[in-house]
């Protein structure tokens, strides 16, 4: 199962390559399904048991910028849900902090481990807060006499602050070529908001 932390992926890609003139790094231009398949195919004979996408969405009443991003993320979530991707919509507070997303990813990771729904968990994030959830999922798997694989995938480039993934996982860097090969041709931005 692939767990996408949508905001984390966007912000890490922006940090890694946002210093270029390429517009695609200034908004979340990644294709969720295509990137999921590319990451799964790194290891031969893997199949996707599910794709789960989590992101915070700002309150559109907080300003023009928030209205733009509310529209963008709402459009992207709607598209993904219609494609059969499991989605979770958290919120972004007025101070810009994402709320509910990390907890939801951690709870789903642990629940799906307990339910024996996967053999490999690929978490698209560099967030160290997932470390305790990984440890618990590994303990549950040991109690079930199962050996699971946990991977942390994240953009890495010249502007990245760290090349470290989630503790307790195998770290896989998403380089610029891999990211660019998995850009979404659809544009979820609402031009009416002009941001």
Q: Tens digit of pLDDT for each residue in 95-117?
A: 888 889 999 999 999 999 999 99
Residue 9's nearest CA partner among 149, 153, 157 is 153
Question: From CA 2, how far away is CA 33, in angstroms rounded?
Answer: 10
pLDDT at site 194: 57
Q: What angle do CA 122, 110, 44 make, to 5 degrees?
A: 25
Residue that wins the pLDDT comparison between 67 and 191: 67
Torsion of CA 28, 33, 38, 44, to 10 degrees: 160
Q: Which residue has the tokens 């031009």?
A: 191
Residue 16 has pLDDT above 90, yes or no: yes
Report yes or no: 173 and 126 within 8 Å, Cβ to Cβ.
no
> What pLDDT band is residue 36 in, cutting at 50, 70 and 90?
very high
pTM listed for this prediction: 0.94
């Amino acid at each position: 199962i692939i767990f996408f932390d949508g905001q984390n992926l966007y912000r890490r890609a922006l940090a890694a390559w946002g210093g270029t003139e390429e517009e695609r790094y200034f908004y979340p231009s990644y294709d969720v399904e295509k990137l999921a398949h590319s990451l799964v195919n790194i290891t031969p004979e893997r199949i996707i048991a599910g794709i789960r996408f989590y992101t915070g969405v700002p309150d559109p009443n907080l300003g023009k910028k928030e209205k733009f991003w509310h529209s963008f993320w709402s459009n992207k979530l709607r598209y993904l849900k219609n494609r059969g991707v499991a989605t979770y919509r958290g919120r972004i507070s007025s101070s810009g902090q994402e709320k509910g997303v990390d907890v939801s990813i951690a709870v789903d990771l642990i629940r799906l481990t307990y339910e024996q729904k996967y053999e490999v968990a690929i978490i698209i994030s560099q967030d160290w807060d997932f470390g305790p959830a990984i440890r618990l999922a590994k303990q549950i798997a040991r109690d079930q006499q199962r050996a699971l694989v946990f991977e942390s995938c994240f953009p890495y480039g010249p502007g990245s602050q760290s090349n470290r993934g989630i503790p307790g996982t195998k770290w896989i860097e998403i380089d610029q070529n891999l990211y660019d090969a998995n850009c979404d041709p659809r544009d979820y931005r609402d031009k009416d908001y002009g941001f």
